[in-house]
């Protein structure tokens, strides 16, 4: 009798223990800070700018588009940072990929799809170069990719001026329409849905009766898709385990059989490919390439990844966190126009956000790694 | 050499720049035996086993695995031949979970083709079971290794190596960070592994840990082998004195006597 009640007691106690540890586990998730931050940002703008049109269909798509652009490169940056490295050449890669699309298509008469493929192959090549240099020389990736930042931006400018005599390459818009793959980066998705919502009077219309928000930009789909893909890789695959291991302790990882060099090189290719997706989205949307496109974007991507919970020292972080980091960034950078606050303050916010995130991450790391 | 020999080292030398870490070291290990590698700090023990586990390439000499001359380009090559190592620095990532560390580099998979995924449930179960066998109760295999004590980490590294070490198990100072009880648990576990047919290379500078479990003893001093002796030819005292420390203690005794004599003479 007494033993029975004891065992029941035990059981209920065990269940309580488990619940506590689940909560603790949640507190230890890297993306927690960015998730909380996103909620705070939405509450803030909900109160301050709730009736200003920021959260209308048009306004929402606006800040989602800005977030998604950054999100695309932030995912790559986050994966690389978890793998223990940085890539400062992302912004320059965006500019370079842009002219790799525009110059062959406009000056050399290549079909648009082939110049897009050309840009992606250049990205693989440059990512590989970054990776092999870091792995072979053992130099910090900070230095190697900083050099690449200047080399790529300089080459972009010099080549564009040499071939076109200018720093911008317009005229792509006409080529998009009949291209078999350009729509992957430039179409509006669910536009039928938006027409329907407009006809019901649920969203704002233009004077000609078409909805103001014409559809979800493909960049948003890319952003969500890449986040899911990266999360799947990190959590569910062998390669994901290798990424964490390579960033956490590269010698230890190598000693137990992880191909650390291969993992790191592939992650550098990943950031360059993400930069090229970003370039495709922007260049095809604007219809022109600009040699300065992507300027400073590498830093914004790193901010988003860090706000999303990635440790600067590697081995810890998440793709979902980086996606939320980008969402915070995009929401604030657009939302600030709907408030009375001078937009000059945006960068102040950005810096403060990053500082808070780093302090918070440090605290999380200590919780995770220190003995009870 | 007899057919039970799994791994042979012939005249291995390893240089780091101008440092001669190893010079002409010869050694072998047989199935089911525990070969102890002894030597003082800096003798080159870790360097020797790192050449056998593929971390370093030897500058001279050859490694023969099951009769075949072999070179290792990376630790993965050695692992693929069934040679698993517990490194002195353990090769654990403290930010990663127990399970993810246990299977780091050798993750069990499920599913087909492109959708092959890391079978985390199976991995969790195996990790917890294996840790249980060595006396560590892991309640939550998804907890970070950083939260474990030094002894628990050592046991994780050891049970991981035993799980993957199909033929040869190399342990670099596995007991140096452990308390008396935990050390005896680990030593028992190593004896069990050898009795199941593994060849074990046990590195230590603690004679009291090596002598009870070892079958043969190789003594390394300043990068050179002082020879290999079966247990029957070697008493604990002789083993102690053969290690660099022993010789030096003898010398120290002589010197102290000398100083004593001189001071007496001066008085
Ligand atoms: N990677 C390295 N680079 C240069 N010297 C090294 C390296 N590894 C070991 N050594 C040197 O080789 C010698 C043997 O070291 P080690 O094998 O670690 O000794 P033990 O494990 O017996 O204490 C030491 O003098 C050490 O300084
Ligand atoms: Mg050593």
| Domains of chain B: total | 2
pLDDT value of position A99: 96
Query: What is the distance in angstroms between the Cα of B4 and the nearest Cα belonging to chain A?
Result: 26
pLDDT value of position A372: 46
| Cα B160 from Cα B84, distance rounded (Å) | 9
DSSP category for residue A187: P
- Count chain A–chain B contacts defined by CB atoms under 8 A: 100
Mean pLDDT calculated for residue range B123-142:
88
CA B88 to ligand 2 centroid distance, Å: 6
User: Interface pTM (ipTM) of the complex?
Assistant: 0.84
- Closest atom of ligand 1 to CA, residue B50: 17
* 10-residue averages of pLDDT along chain A (372 residues): 40 45 70 86 87 85 94 97 97 97 94 96 98 96 96 96 92 86 83 80 77 85 96 94 95 93 97 97 91 93 93 92 94 87 84 84 74 50
pLDDT value of position B244: 52
SS (H, E, C) A341-365: CCHHHHHHHHHHHHHHHHHHHHHHH
pLDDT digits over B4-39, tens only?
889 999 999 999 999 999 999 999 999 999 999 998
Contact A312, A81 (CB under 8 A): yes
- Are B11 and B72 members of one domain? yes
- Are B39 and B168 members of one domain? yes
- Are B138 and B71 members of one domain? no
Contact A290, A129 (CB under 8 A): no
Q: Which domain holds residue B100?
A: 96-143
- Are B100 and B135 members of one domain? yes
- Are B81 and B101 members of one domain? no
CB contact under 8 A, A256 and B74: no
Domains of chain A (ranges, CATH numbers): 33-370 (1.10.3470)
Any chain A CB within 8 A of the CB of B253? no
- Are B87 and B12 members of one domain? yes
- Are B56 and B128 members of one domain? no
Residue B53 lies in a domain: yes
| Cα B231 from Cα B246, distance rounded (Å) | 18
Any chain A CB within 8 A of the CB of B256? no
Q: In chain B, pLDDT over 70 holds for what percent of residues?
A: 95
- Are B103 and B208 members of one domain? no
Find the CB nearest B92 among A28, A252, A365: A252
User: Residue B262 pLDDT more than 80?
Assistant: no
DSSP helix/strand/coil, A92: helix
- Are B90 and B176 members of one domain? yes
pLDDT value of position B248: 64
- Are B90 and B173 members of one domain? yes
Any chain A CB within 8 A of the CB of B235? no
List Cβ neighbours of B78 (8 Å cut-off, separation of 6 or more).
B52, B53, B54, B72, B85
- A343 bridge partner residues: none
Any chain A CB within 8 A of the CB of B213? no
CB contact under 8 A, B105 and A245: yes
pLDDT value of position A20: 52
- Are B49 and B62 members of one domain? yes
pLDDT value of position A356: 86
Residue B239 lies in a domain: no
Residue B226 lies in a domain: yes
pLDDT digits over B191-205, tens only?
988 998 899 999 988
Q: Which residues of B touch A369 (CB under 8 A)?
A: 94-95, 144, 146-147
């Amino acid at each position: 009798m007494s033993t029975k009640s004891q065992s029941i007691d035990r059981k209920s106690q065990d269940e309580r223990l488990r619940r506590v540890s689940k909560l603790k586990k949640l507190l230890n998730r890297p993306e927690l800070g960015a998730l909380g931050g996103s909620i705070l940002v939405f509450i803030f703008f909900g109160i301050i700018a709730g009736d200003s049109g920021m959260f209308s269909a048009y306004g929402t798509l606006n800040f989602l588009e800005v977030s998604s652009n950054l999100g695309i490169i932030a995912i790559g940056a986050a994966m690389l940072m978890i793998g223990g490295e940085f890539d400062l050449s992302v912004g320059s890669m965006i500019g370079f990929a842009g002219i790799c699309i525009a110059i062959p298509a406009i000056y050399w008469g290549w079909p648009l799809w082939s110049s897009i493929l050309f840009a992606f192959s250049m990205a693989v090549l440059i990512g590989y170069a970054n990776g092999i240099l870091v792995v072979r020389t053992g130099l910090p990736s900070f230095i190697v990719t900083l050099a690449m930042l200047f080399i790529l931006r300089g080459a972009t400018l010099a080549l564009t001026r040499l071939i076109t005599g200018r720093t911008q390459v317009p005229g792509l818009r006409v080529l998009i329409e009949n291209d078999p793959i350009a729509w992957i980066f430039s179409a509006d998705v669910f536009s039928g849905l938006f027409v329907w919502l407009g006809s019901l009077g649920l969203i704002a219309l233009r004077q000609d009766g078409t909805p103001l928000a014409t559809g979800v930009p493909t960049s948003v789909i890319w952003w969500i898709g890449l986040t899911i893909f990266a999360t799947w890789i990190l959590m569910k695959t062998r390669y994901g385990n290798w990424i964490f291991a390579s960033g956490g302790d590269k010698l230890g990882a190598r000693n137990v059989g992880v191909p650390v060099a291969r993992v790191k090189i592939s992650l550098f290719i990943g950031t360059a490919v993400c930069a090229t997706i970003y370039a495709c989205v922007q260049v095809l949307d604007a219809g022109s390439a600009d040699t300065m496109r992507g300027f400073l974007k590498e830093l914004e991507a790193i901010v988003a990844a860090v706000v999303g919970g990635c440790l600067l020292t590697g081995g810890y972080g998440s793709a979902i966190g980086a996606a939320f980091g980008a969402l915070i960034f995009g929401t604030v950078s657009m939302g600030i126009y709907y408030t009375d606050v001078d937009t000059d303050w945006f960068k102040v916010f950005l810096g403060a956000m990053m500082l808070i995130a780093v302090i918070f991450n440090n605290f999380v790391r200590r919780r995770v790694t220190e003995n009870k | 050499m007899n057919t039970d020999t799994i791994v042979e080292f012939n005249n291995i030398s390893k240089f780091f720049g101008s440092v001669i870490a190893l010079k002409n070291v010869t050694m072998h290990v047989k199935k089911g035996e525990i070969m102890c590698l002894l030597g003082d700090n800096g003798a080159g023990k870790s360097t020797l086993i790192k050449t056998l586990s593929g971390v370093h390439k030897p500058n001279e000499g050859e490694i023969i695995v099951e009769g075949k001359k072999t070179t290792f380009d990376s630790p993965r090559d050695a692992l693929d031949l069934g040679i698993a190592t517990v490194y002195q620095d353990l090769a654990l990532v403290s930010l990663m979970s127990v399970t993810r560390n246990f299977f780091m580099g050798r993750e069990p998979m499920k599913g087909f083709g492109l959708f092959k995924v890391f079978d985390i449930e199976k991995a969790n179960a195996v990790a917890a079971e294996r840790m249980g066998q060595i006396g560590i109760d892991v309640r939550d295999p998804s907890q970070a290794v950083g939260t474990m004590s030094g002894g628990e980490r050592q046991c994780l590294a050891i049970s991981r190596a035993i799980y993957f070490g199909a033929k040869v198990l190399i342990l670099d100072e596995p007991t140096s960070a452990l308390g008396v009880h935990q050390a005896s648990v680990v030593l028992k576990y190593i004896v069990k592994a050898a009795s199941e047919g593994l060849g074990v290379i046990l590195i230590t500078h603690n004679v009291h840990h090596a002598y009870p479990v070892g079958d043969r003893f190789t003594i390394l001093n300043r990068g050179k082998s002082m020879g290999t002796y079966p247990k029957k030819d070697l008493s604990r005292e002789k083993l102690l004195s053969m290690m660099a420390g022993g010789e030096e203690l003898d010398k120290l005794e002589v010197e102290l006597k000398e100083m004593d004599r001189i001071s007496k003479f001066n008085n």
